[in-house]
Structure 1
């Protein structure tokens, strides 16, 4: 082989080896990055663990009204914990009376439920959930109401309604409700979808019926974040929503309402 060809061949070999080494370093970087989105890396980071980074998968399902499904928002342990706290204290659910602003029983809502106490709000697991809600909703934790845990049994439902207030009584403490985080605590339920009749342009399933609008199936650990107020700061009528009839099993959920100002 001529000396010139040897030099060219040597350079090509050197460049090729360099490219291979560079590619290996790039792959190693990508593997490390992918691993950080898996769980082993985050176990060393308390903040990431609280926020369940790498687990929570947001999915925007509607812009008007604004609705985001947060898959894997809660762990199985957190779901079990909330159900265990609530079960001994469940009472017939109420709705807000538009005239007095107080809770009254109604055939509009047939579930049972309870609110966590201010003391329970300080429990480490509850604080972790509240911080996660605040980060993903971008609403300060102190603007949130106490978490409400609900159980819907067979044939129970919540007819379509708005979460924002139509009375002045409830606006005195914290202002208007601007957003809702609805978290599912159980699986093995038939029906019980969260239904938005004014969202989407197609059909969906609601308690075994096909209806117009958009619905979200209750899956343990998932959460639905939706806004009751639009970007213009006004109450959004299209945020109308309801809980479809449960056909079989039990539907457990936890709700966190966020206000314009601090509630404490």
Structure 2
């Protein structure tokens, strides 16, 4: 009888071990699930820096809008990146408020003198912020953000330009880079541009890249070849006028489509190869 009981006890040991490992695996799976869930909750909180104390007290994270800005690559050659929620609503309204009383008819750069001249190519009104304006904390925050996302130093940037397009106003396709030596004296070539939308537009006002892609898009109520980006308040486009080899990229051709209804407010920052003076 003793031998029979001993055999039964030994026969039950493998079953006990199997049960133990099953329980252990169950605990591991539960732990992994809880970890994944907590990460999702954390990522959700990042969308609102104010809801997480780790971001609330981080001035740099708030200045750069960490977790709010969502980069979306639209094209690789030329490089075009759409930065969703790049500006806050308050920053957009602030730029419009300080620019409004100082608007004048927009000009284009004269390649022989470097000065602004009126042209039918561009029918908007606009103004440039001054070096004095750059002392304001909100302007400094925007310029700092541009530098970080473009990876081009603040001092390489030209003065910020604010533009307003009313119905039937536009900017015909053009390049931001220079083809003359005169304009290269103040910091070298323009290598990149950050175009920020300060308002929504009821209809029209898209930014078009005619040399990008093989499809068609709606530009000022018409179908045209290329890639179009619809203005949305707070969004920004970062695109490069220079290719990876350092040469200017003719495919960076771009324009502002006609506004059909409403107003289009935007701000532009051109970025140079070296310090702009």
Q: TM-score with structure 2 length normalisation?
A: 0.89
Please state how far the C-alpha of 1:234 moved relative to its aligned partner: 1.2
**Is 115-124 or 41-50 further displaced after alignment?**
41-50
Matches within 5 A, 1:59-208: 59-208=72-221
Please state how far the C-alpha of 1:65 moved relative to its aligned partner: 1.6
Q: For structure 1, which runs of at least 5 residues remain unmatched after alignment? A: none
**Does the 8 Å contact 1:155/1:245 carry over to 2?**
yes
Please state how far the C-alpha of 1:8 moved relative to its aligned partner: 3.0
**Is 217-226 or 98-107 further displaced after alignment?**
98-107
> 232, 249, 254: which is aligned to 1:241?
254
**1:38 aligned onto 2:44:** no
Please state how far the C-alpha of 1:117 moved relative to its aligned partner: 1.0
Give the corresponding residue for 1:22: 31
Rg larger in structure: 2
> How far apart, in 1, do the equivalents of 2:153 and 2:237 lie?
18
**1:210 aligned onto 2:219:** no
Q: Secondary structure at the match of 1:69?
A: strand
> How far apart, in 1, do the equivalents of 2:70 and 2:28 lie?
35
**Is 39-48 or 103-112 further displaced after alignment?**
39-48
Q: Secondary structure at the match of 2:180?
A: coil
Q: Secondary structure at the match of 2:149?
A: helix
Q: For structure 2, which runs of at least 5 residues remain unmatched after alignment? A: 1-7
**Does the 8 Å contact 2:194/2:237 carry over to 1?**
yes
Please state how far the C-alpha of 1:230 moved relative to its aligned partner: 1.0
Please state how far the C-alpha of 1:16 moved relative to its aligned partner: 4.6
Give the corresponding residue for 1:51: 64
Q: TM-score with structure 1 length normalisation?
A: 0.93
CA RMSD of aligned residues (A): 1.9
Number of aligned residue pairs: give it: 264
**Does the 8 Å contact 1:144/1:257 carry over to 2?**
yes
**Does the 8 Å contact 2:96/2:265 carry over to 1?**
yes
